[in-house]
Structure 1
């Protein structure tokens, strides 16, 4: 159950009063923000990625395949962790203000939601109906003989 406007106002007043009385206590309670942690993880992943590139290149130059494979795996793992941290950082910035329910907020268009794309034809052209197939007569001759007959038929009609 969300807090009423009066309760939110009282809570904000208490927070301001506590911050004015003991700023060290407030900073100790806040600790590291999620944004700072995500930024540090992204930077650390980038440094480890560069180390993985160095391992990969060193393995290639020293003709040590196993070292190149280890370098590639280090690069892959650090890129995965770095991108996850960076995406988490980006989503944290775009969260709605407290008190707004993001599930029913259709006015905002954050990147993690589906979008409607306009495309395709405005009106579908109708296809002509296919004529029902006539039953074929029994094939005569081998495959090569039938090909030769088709070829002769085309030549007689002037197609070639």
Structure 2
């Protein structure tokens, strides 16, 4: 069922408010949503699983225990490779404590804070203390 124009506008407004309120949380949700298994990873894993299964069958016919063990290991490794999502490459932290994204990475989420790690911690601490009083 499609959303009405009013519902789409309201949803868009809520998304903008989320980015403005907590850009870090919003970027995590976006990364999680866009992070899939990947077709190439699944194909490679399934192919390794099939090769491993073929090695097990061949080992059973030739009575070769070590070849069966290798086939089983290849089959399990292929299936695990196919069902686990790829992890994104991490950026680095400069000497001043500011995170630098990896090459080709998109910039910070809209409204993202800059500064050193300690500055951000102090801001959080001040905000918590202010909210308590």
The TM-score by the shorter chain falls in which range? 0.3 to 0.5
TM-score (norm. length: structure 1): 0.29
Larger Rg: 1
The structure showing larger relative contact order (alpha-carbon pairs under 8 Å, at least 6 residues apart) is 2
TM-score (norm. length: structure 2): 0.34
